[in-house]
Structure 1
């Protein structure tokens, strides 16, 4: 393959037709998108630590051209645009970096990120010499920022994505344009282990020169439909094609994409599995943690060997000389998105808050860190009976990834907004080279909404786990030897079946059956001792599903540890930082145990530390209405999507407005705005701080970012939402809209403090 230099002081990155390698070993990284220009530089380091704590190993970032060049010929890499500093922070904390320099990024940015003046006088996304000259100038500026920080130099940058969602053909376009851009990147100096292109929406590229990366989203906010979508293919295991359906490319093609014919020669890599979905003007879906987790489970069960998310961390669009840079239909884009808000319902939100979806995804990430080298070599195998299509909600969906000797069984019984049939008395047959494994020993019930994977013939440091009705989470080391941690996946007891020739006894009641030692255990934080046939011991802990969602894995005081807490967590050398909104009482368990201290008094019982961090309680802010709502104009229909269009600026004259003052003491907290309407906008004087399209959720605004603006009046405006607006809202939100007329209403504005507990390990 036409990849660049893979060797560097940090080791060797390689690739074959099945998986990535690090120092010659199979490697399944987790990649999460985080846009440096969409978060203040002062917050980068802490946000990167949060990303790392969630199990991400590679940070990917667009270098959005029009957010870096605010005036013709004046690239700006200072302050919040300091790419070099961002890359150095990734290196400091052991995170790899994947650079996505476009030049077309999409990213819900104006003109896909290409500056207006380049669009106006060149032929973008082609081999037009005038366009390529502008791209070369931009890319040389980027290279100047990252020179010396490539993987070969000991830096974090392991890859470059060329263009995005490229399916254009014709003179100066097509495969040749991607080849031209790659050659330009190499000539400038971007010599990296991996070069990729996006592989969906009928993409074209020079095969052998770049690796296609895949994606999928559980809803389509770019759709023009105003009703729930049919069942998405992301919930069905893939055995033929890696390519999802519509992922929102702004250009259309009906030709067969090159990625469809490249599967034998390239590994199954992902870059844009939605960690959430954006809220766009005409379509505002709200996704749940299981919506996202079930789709991730099916992709892993289909063979994905790079789990890449878009977005993993939300952000805020910067302004350029007072002008907004978001994608709009009025500027020729296919979508209308908020001018500033780019939260994306991601695991880490726009203001760095940890959202519940994080807890549903982290177990996958920790599994890949501990056992991904095993999964990487395994290919997806289809069961004899498969669903008849995306809409078949009665047939159980499952897959096995196996190397012939061992494997992992993936099961999905969840589809967003659909009621899946409960599957009773379920057992599976997995054919391996020497035997057919039938598991579990007795039939189980798989309820609708369940999604999980189980190990088959998994080696646990000498104990061969024939199967478990629990999902592997991580592996820890302590003085007594290794501890393998699993997580329960179904209600009730978990069945553990060991090969009888590798295990002599367990520390819990067990039975011998068919050459196996089988135990049924209730989930617990207490480890089970497994005595091997040779007398050595291995321990196994089976956590409850709720504990798995509270799990964090990271390095603390020189040792890999598992932390169980309902709080948000990240690791910073010898410090474990815990935060939570509102609640005063912290509770945390650390395995293996650590000797910790805190400035706040700690109580310690068993494995659990407890502390209370007092402070100002959550409270409603007094607000004063300063303008009543006028009549909102009818929603425009048109644009490239021929669907509902975002109102013109003049429409906001109909917005209702309220004013309130946030105390200067409230910087360590969030503003929660409970409103009903079409568009909410928050102002400090003439400066818009944030905006949102109402979707039924409470709008949360982090106050730390605006600390220098606190103590003076802010204004909230709410444009009325007409009952006849042809936009999609989930049913929970639609029920809050009157059957006729319009709504522009403010229920409350609350201050919710964020409390912090820092534990220092000795």
Structure 2
């Protein structure tokens, strides 16, 4: 083959074996010839799908947008749990992470804090939130309960409604209260529905509903939907949650599914058995216990029998998990990334997260509204803190888990229209159950001869057997494909997606040992970005037909395919020239780049940005932010020729660097003002018959320190964070008698953003730490346990650091 120079320079390409593992060869097989059910939609009674911005529809297999298959990413963000002044940036952060639909609970008792007074102002102004979503081309899925759960008091239903009616039933008194609440919501959202040109594409009816009997059951869900329609909620999608034996009127709503990497609502004090969310699903879409607060008498929910008539949609795949009083699990980024990759490989056609963005519970006249066992809930959660270990945290900070899931989101954004029509196929040999750590977990989703191969070899808190010299036999309608040409090693912790017969603008990529990420375009044509899934060389296999040349060394196999083993590079393109002289380019990134990938539109051009900074896109600008580090490094594809910023830019090849001015990180002086008392024994009881959060008077045992955050803390920076390193049970930060935030200690450094408290800086604050008893019947991750001293109790404040968040705004022209 003739080797051609590449526009951005030629680098050495090494031809390497993909694996030199001495382990016995492992050949695994799947029959992917089964055809999917034909799409049909007349049986699903949804609302208006057409609007000024196009059409949105649903059939028994997938969602559609403008009559094309559509596989979006949806992320939960509660507008009333975040200051309205910051909504716009947070929406842009979610968009930059590959989210295209924002889901939000409308939490009733956060809107109606006094009987009969619905307050839609300030941080409760859902209309403004919807308008900001529309401004930035983000869709909105409204979840108005009336029972939401959301770790709130009475599931969000106001106290006076709970005490005077029969909630979650067709009790006329209850329905009258719901109608009053929903009517107020409908008035706020008038004109914001999809049919009117607005962003609202869906409505979820109730939540985790499995109650049956008089005035309940399917009839109640039907009544709520009819009420919503009568009030004007005419939307393309009506959904209900589909787990924990849910019941609903078939055809009137579509079930959505979920699954979490841990169960913080569990009363168990030990590491849980392996979660089924790390297995591929071929026979049921319904995950195990997701924590519904009611228990159905019947053993099988309606969603189990609705598989052929509804698509596999998700709404609550855990972007994290909350920290609850009795159980405080810590997640790693891979815990989330592996779980959602597995669910997409199982056929999910809407990847919905709960939560994608953390928040803070508002207080109602100083009274907290969180869920507690003492108020009849099943869980105890912090009064304010609702960080959820989410991809975007309580204060808008981008957490490490974001980097583990963004590449998958960008794949769905660029290739989801193809993946949506593909059905999952079960390999010949599958694990015997969640506890089987030795059998390879994998799946193929395909439609005809095109597909994607999914692998997951990660299970949270458990070691998986590595697999050496693995090859995959995939039987397609046109014949068998063996992938790759030589075996690969699949290490413990690996999870990835490989393409099978992927059309790259007229070039057929038969396989790649790399995950597709996104499709870009410049003046020379298409650029497809792939991400290596292991160290070393990547094998690319092209169908030779229609190809004139490839810019890297290739060899032909017996089937006439062109095989290349290529080392990834962030500054080199692989060019394939077709017989018609047009070109397709591939940017092949190394596996370590995964957490540095960002994709979005800048001034109408879709760009890939590689940076360690947090990032979002705003018009023609890249907005990069970093905590504690004022020096920024980044690169873009397509390459930007004209760049300006709020700091001097230095170019180093394809990379750019800049340093911004601002104060350095430093320590905050602390003064002990009260020694700890003896913490009382933790009470066992409540609905969970487990450790209950201590009563308010128990905080007399708190150790207390005072400190002052200087008024200058926010000068010349985007934000600043307190990083509190402490040991204890419960931490509370207060300004006088006003609590600003609280947390249950879980081993992490507690981070508090200061921008929302700007008016309170410069005078004394306090931090109170309730001692953690050595005999506390509380589950802590082993990493947290290792940090505790051997003592009868501990209440210790080690340090408070002030860490600036610096911002670099880069304009590309």
Q: Please indicate the TM-score interval, normalised by the length of the shorter structure.
A: over 0.9
- The yes-or-no answer on 1:326 pairing with 2:377 is no
CA distance in 1, matches of 2:72, 2:646: 36
- 1:294-323, CA deviations, whole angstroms, 9 ceiling, x for partnerless residues? 000100000000000000000000001111
CA distance in 2, matches of 1:7, 1:543: 40
CA distance in 2, matches of 1:50, 1:755: 16
**Alignment map for 1:573-652 (pairs within 5 Å):** 573-594=619-640, 595-652=642-699
Aligned to 1:371: 415
- The yes-or-no answer on 1:61 pairing with 2:104 is yes
Aligned to 2:27: none
CA distance in 1, matches of 2:325, 2:574: 52
Which piece of structure 1 moves more, 124-133 or 552-561?
552-561
- 1:537-592, CA deviations, whole angstroms, 9 ceiling, x for partnerless residues? 10001111222211111111220111110000001101111000011210110111
2:549 partner SS: strand
Correspondence for 1:464 among 486, 505, 508: 508
Aligned to 1:134: 177
- 1:395-454, CA deviations, whole angstroms, 9 ceiling, x for partnerless residues? 010000011211000000000000100100100011110111100000010000000010
Aligned to 1:164: 207
CA distance in 2, matches of 1:54, 1:546: 18
**Alignment map for 1:172-321 (pairs within 5 Å):** 172-255=215-298, 256-321=300-365
- 1:193-242, CA deviations, whole angstroms, 9 ceiling, x for partnerless residues? 00000000000000000000000000000000000000000000000000
Aligned to 1:706: 757
- The yes-or-no answer on 1:656 pairing with 2:700 is no
Measure how far apart 1:736 and its partner are.
2.1
- The yes-or-no answer on 1:540 pairing with 2:586 is yes
Aligned to 2:712: 665
CA distance in 1, matches of 2:518, 2:599: 8
Aligned to 1:12: 55
Measure how far apart 1:254 and its partner are.
4.2
Aligned to 1:477: 521
CA distance in 2, matches of 1:502, 1:265: 41
Maintained 8 Å contact 1:202/1:257: yes
CA distance in 2, matches of 1:18, 1:235: 23
**Alignment map for 1:489-508 (pairs within 5 Å):** 489-508=533-552
Aligned to 2:438: 394
Which piece of structure 1 moves more, 335-344 or 533-542?
533-542
1:179 partner SS: helix
Aligned to 2:34: none
1:418 partner SS: coil
CA distance in 1, matches of 2:420, 2:617: 27
Aligned to 2:554: 510
2:255 partner SS: strand
Measure how far apart 1:276 and its partner are.
0.4
Maintained 8 Å contact 2:60/2:309: yes
2:163 partner SS: helix
Which piece of structure 1 moves more, 548-557 or 279-288?
548-557
Maintained 8 Å contact 1:590/1:607: yes
Measure how far apart 1:599 and its partner are.
2.3
Aligned to 1:560: 606
- 1:317-372, CA deviations, whole angstroms, 9 ceiling, x for partnerless residues? 00011110000000000000000000000000000000010011110111111000
- The yes-or-no answer on 1:690 pairing with 2:741 is yes
Measure how far apart 1:596 and its partner are.
1.5
Correspondence for 2:770 among 711, 719, 741: 719
Correspondence for 2:780 among 690, 712, 729: 729
CA distance in 2, matches of 1:692, 1:289: 21
Measure how far apart 1:504 and its partner are.
3.1
- 1:436-479, CA deviations, whole angstroms, 9 ceiling, x for partnerless residues? 11000000100000000100011000110000000000000100
Which piece of structure 1 moves more, 223-232 or 525-534?
525-534
Measure how far apart 1:529 and its partner are.
0.4
Which piece of structure 1 moves more, 334-343 or 486-495?
486-495
Maintained 8 Å contact 1:55/1:365: yes
**Alignment map for 1:6-155 (pairs within 5 Å):** 6-155=49-198
- 1:41-88, CA deviations, whole angstroms, 9 ceiling, x for partnerless residues? 001011101111111000000000000001110000000100100000
Correspondence for 2:467 among 416, 423, 429: 423
Aligned to 1:756: 807
CA distance in 1, matches of 2:578, 2:683: 71
CA distance in 1, matches of 2:497, 2:753: 36
Measure how far apart 1:739 and its partner are.
4.1
CA distance in 2, matches of 1:143, 1:599: 43
Maintained 8 Å contact 1:724/1:740: no
Which piece of structure 1 moves more, 535-544 or 315-324?
535-544
Which piece of structure 1 moves more, 334-343 or 609-618?
609-618
Maintained 8 Å contact 2:265/2:378: yes
Maintained 8 Å contact 2:628/2:664: yes
C-alpha RMSD of matched pairs (Å): 0.7
CA distance in 2, matches of 1:201, 1:625: 48
1:330 partner SS: helix
Maintained 8 Å contact 1:503/1:517: no
Measure how far apart 1:726 and its partner are.
0.6
- 1:499-556, CA deviations, whole angstroms, 9 ceiling, x for partnerless residues? 1213232101111112100000111121100122433210001111222211111111
- The yes-or-no answer on 1:523 pairing with 2:523 is no
CA distance in 2, matches of 1:306, 1:603: 41
Equivalences, count: 762
Measure how far apart 1:658 and its partner are.
0.4
Which piece of structure 1 moves more, 546-555 or 460-469?
546-555
Structure 1 unaligned spans of 5+: none
CA distance in 2, matches of 1:510, 1:577: 40
Maintained 8 Å contact 2:192/2:199: yes
By relative contact order (CA 8 Å, sep 6+), the higher-ranking structure is 2
Q: Normalising by structure 1, what TM-score? A: 0.99
1:246 partner SS: coil
Q: Normalising by structure 2, what TM-score? A: 0.93
